[in-house]
């Protein structure tokens, strides 16, 4: 290898490393950025069982609050009239109409959780001053299901020796009692008001939250019940309830099933104050399910905002200054060189045969849309059609272009069929095989049918397997969110790609496949 080529390659790498280092050290870009504040895609689904002609469903809807922002709301109400009403600082959804059996009301939205300053519960706090108590009178007064003025509760507090002198201490002991001494049930064990739960010493999460609030209010700590949902990556959940105590000018969330020091995580707040999550009128049964997905977009938005406000040259030259649609394209496009690198390695170092040079990358891009399993299934279908079609159409003696068009039509019909079948199987995963680029299918069929004729079915099969292997390897590169983010933030990393390609281009050593191809020369004789 010529020293000049090596010098060029090394200088490329040095440039790339220098630029990346400068951007990290001086401009504060992060190599692996933290995804805060988080964006979530949330779906709430109310399932209606046994509705009659005049049904009315009311359920909690989240609202903007100190810990969250709601945007981009979409509703599908399956023929019911759907409206959103503010109610005592909260929002509720009301759907009225004549739904079909098993109807679903779905409400989708995007959620941004806002960071909450972490704080330590004070060691001790004196009793509430009268002025403040009057201000927060609503959070101290008894309610229908939170009977904080009941004699039984005063008796219980005396039994537990919890006094009113130190609010912080009282809160700790009340929470410990609720968590440890009240058994948690599924909520179907009887009345779920505070008094009933305390008497039974067990209750559902809603009942326990009410009980905790009642106890807190009874010792003079302002408190309220909050309904919401814990956010988990690709998770789903029922609505849960917790208590919030107001101490020292802020609200302290208290999960009635978990100790104080358990990590809180992120939660979507649906409703502040006591209430039922879903209230069906004229319907036998209704249930509310919430599912959520973390939105990856968030990381880009953070950078984009920062760079828009910056006047430094490298910030201005950043790809983040592109408009969103263009940016989405370049996010993918910038990974293609890495895919090409994978192809170069597979072909020139390992010696895997493939259809065309960059066909495997196109297939990887297609896998990116459909996921590997569906992609492989489709690829398999295409290959099968290519084989069968060749034998059948060969008899019909069609000209080449109409013949390939015939195959293409057949494949598109098969995809349509597969989609319908998937729909009926109830595949609830994001199934976007329709986006499998049609051009790639056309090329695969054409290449395959030519390969079968030119190189025989055996070699064509080798090509198919090689193409799939390289495409799957390329998929790991092209579908990686981390890499996508890294390359988009530091596009100069492609100087390294260029350097590697330069060196690879002058690699005159053997390919791994030649180790077996020329095995006779290794062992010194051919098998006979």
Partner 1 sequence: MIFDRLRARGVLGINARNARFISPHNPRRLFPLVDDKLKTKALCKEHGIPSPQLFGVVDAHGDLRSLRSILEPYSEFVIKPVRGAMGNGVLVVVGRDGDLWVKSSGARLDDAAMRHYVSGILSGLYSLAGNTDRAMIEYRVQLHPTFQAISHGGVPDVRVIVFKGVPALAMLRLPTRRSDGRANLHQGAIAAGIDLATGRTHHAVQSNRLVEIHPDTGNRVIGAEVPAWEEILRIAAKSAEITGLGYLGVDVVLDANLGPLLLELNARPGLAIQIANFQGLLGPLEMLERVDTRALDTEARIELAKRIAEELRPSRAPHPAPAMERAG
- Footprint of partner 1 on 158-217 (CB under 8 A): none
**Is residue 397 within the footprint of partner 1 (CB under 8 A)?**
yes
Q: Of these, 131, 430, 439, 526, which contacts partner 1 (CB under 8 A)?
A: 526
Crossing angle (nearest 10°) for helices 438-478 and 400-424: 60
In the shown chain, the binding pattern of residues 338 to 367 toward partner 1, with x for contact by CB under 8 A and - for none, equals: ----------x--x----------------
The three-point CA angle 493-494-496 to 5° equals: 75
Residue found by looking up tokens 């989405």 in the block? 328
Evaluate whether 249 touches 234 at the Cβ level (below 8 Å).
no
Q: Of these, 360, 446, 448, 473, which contacts partner 1 (CB under 8 A)?
A: 446
Crossing angle (nearest 10°) for helices 297-308 and 481-489: 10
**Is residue 465 within the footprint of partner 1 (CB under 8 A)?**
no
Q: Of these, 455, 461, 472, 502, which contacts partner 1 (CB under 8 A)?
A: 455
Minimum CB separation of residue 515 from partner 1 in Å reads 6
CB nearer to partner 1: give 309 or 516: 516
Q: Which of 389, 361, 406, 396 is nearest to 449 (CA)?
A: 389
**Is residue 439 within the footprint of partner 1 (CB under 8 A)?**
no
Q: Of these, 25, 399, 425, 439, which contacts partner 1 (CB under 8 A)?
A: 399
CB nearer to partner 1: give 399 or 430: 399
| Length of the chain as a residue count | 528
CB nearer to partner 1: give 351 or 371: 351
CB nearer to partner 1: give 310 or 348: 348
| Rounded CA separation 450/448 (Å) | 5
The H or E element that residue 367 is part of is: helix 359-370
CB nearer to partner 1: give 71 or 510: 510
Q: Which of 298, 303, 350, 214 is nearest to 41 (CA)?
A: 298
For strands 223-230 and 267-272, give the pairing: antiparallel
**Is residue 511 within the footprint of partner 1 (CB under 8 A)?**
yes
CB nearer to partner 1: give 399 or 425: 399
CB nearer to partner 1: give 247 or 460: 460
CB nearer to partner 1: give 372 or 503: 503
**Is residue 522 within the footprint of partner 1 (CB under 8 A)?**
yes
CB nearer to partner 1: give 200 or 511: 511
For 220-234, b/e burial (b = at least 16 CB within 10 A) is ebbbbbbbbbbbeee
Evaluate whether 112 touches 269 at the Cβ level (below 8 Å).
no
| Rounded CA separation 129/223 (Å) | 16
Q: Of these, 131, 401, 425, 430, which contacts partner 1 (CB under 8 A)?
A: 401
Minimum CB separation of residue 107 from partner 1 in Å reads 52
Tokens encoding 114 = 């806002």
**Is residue 395 within the footprint of partner 1 (CB under 8 A)?**
no
Q: Which residues contact 131 (CB under 8 A, 6 or more apart)?
A: none
**Is residue 392 within the footprint of partner 1 (CB under 8 A)?**
no
**Is residue 525 within the footprint of partner 1 (CB under 8 A)?**
yes
**Is residue 502 within the footprint of partner 1 (CB under 8 A)?**
no
DSSP letter string, 313-332: HHHHTSGGGS-HHHHHHHHH
Q: Of these, 236, 285, 453, 457, which contacts partner 1 (CB under 8 A)?
A: 453
Q: Which of 90, 157, 127, 153 is nearest to 222 (CA)?
A: 127
**Is residue 527 within the footprint of partner 1 (CB under 8 A)?**
yes
Which positions touch partner 1 (CB under 8 A)? Answer: 348, 351, 397, 399-401, 446, 450, 453-456, 459, 505-511, 514-515, 517-518, 520-522, 525-528
């Amino acid at each position: 290898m010529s020293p000049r080529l090596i010098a060029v390659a090394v200088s490329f790498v040095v440039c790339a490393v220098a630029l990346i280092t400068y951007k990290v050290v001086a401009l504060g870009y992060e190599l692996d950025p933290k995804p805060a504040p988080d964006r979530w895609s949330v779906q709430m689904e109310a399932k209606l069982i046994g509705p009659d002609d005049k049904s009315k469903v009311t359920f909690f809807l989240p609202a903007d609050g100190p810990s969250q922002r709601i945007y981009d709301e979409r509703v599908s109400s399956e023929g019911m009239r759907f409206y959103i009403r503010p109610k005592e600082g909260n929002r509720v959804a009301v759907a009225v109409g004549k739904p079909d059996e098993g109807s679903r009301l779905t409400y989708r939205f995007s959620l941004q959780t806002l960071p909450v300053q972490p704080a330590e519960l004070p060691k001790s706090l004196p009793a509430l001053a009268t002025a403040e108590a009057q201000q927060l009178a609503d959070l101290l007064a008894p309610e229908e299901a939170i009977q904080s003025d009941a004699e039984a509760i005063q008796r219980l507090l005396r039994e537990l020796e919890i006094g009113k002198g130190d609010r912080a201490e009282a809160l700790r002991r009340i929470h410990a009692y609720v968590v440890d001494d009240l058994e948690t049930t599924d909520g179907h064990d009887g009345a779920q008001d505070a008094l009933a739960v305390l008497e039974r010493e067990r209750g559902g999460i809603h009942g326990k939250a009410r009980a905790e609030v009642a106890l807190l209010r009874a010792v003079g700590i302002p408190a309220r019940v909050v309904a919401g949902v814990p956010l988990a990556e690709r998770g789903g959940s029922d609505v849960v309830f917790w208590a919030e105590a107001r101490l020292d000018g802020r609200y302290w969330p208290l999960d009635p099933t978990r100790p104080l020091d358990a990590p809180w995580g992120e939660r979507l707040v649906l409703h502040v104050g006591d209430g039922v999550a879903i209230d069906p009128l004229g319907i036998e049964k209704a249930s509310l399910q919430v599912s959520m997905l973390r939105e990856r977009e968030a990381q880009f938005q953070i950078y984009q905002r920062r760079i828009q406000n910056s006047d430094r040259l490298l910030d201005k030259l950043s790809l983040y200054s592109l408009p969103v649609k263009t940016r989405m394209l370049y996010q993918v496009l910038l990974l293609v060189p890495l895919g090409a690198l994978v192809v170069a390695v597979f072909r020139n170092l390992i010696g895997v045969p493939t259809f065309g040079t960059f066909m495997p990358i196109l297939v990887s891009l297609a896998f990116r849309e459909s996921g590997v399993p569906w992609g492989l299934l489709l690829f398999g279908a295409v290959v099968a059609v290519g084989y069968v079609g060749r034998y059948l159409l060969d008899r019909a003696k069609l000209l080449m272009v109409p013949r390939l068009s015939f195959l293409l039509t057949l494949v598109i019909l098969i995809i349509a069929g597969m989609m319908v079948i998937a729909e009926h199987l109830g595949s609830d995963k994001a199934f976007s095989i329709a986006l499998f680029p049609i051009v790639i299918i056309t090329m695969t069929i054409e290449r395959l049918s030519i390969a079968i004729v030119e190189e025989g079915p055996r070699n064509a099969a080798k090509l198919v397997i090689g193409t799939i292997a390289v495409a799957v390897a390329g998929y790991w590169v092209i579908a990686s969110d981390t890499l996508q983010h890294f390359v988009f933030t530091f596009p100069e990393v492609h100087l390294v790609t260029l350097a590697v390609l330069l060196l690879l281009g002058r690699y005159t050593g053997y390919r791994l496949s030649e180790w077996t191809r020329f095995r006779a020369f290794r062992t010194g004789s051919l098998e006979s």
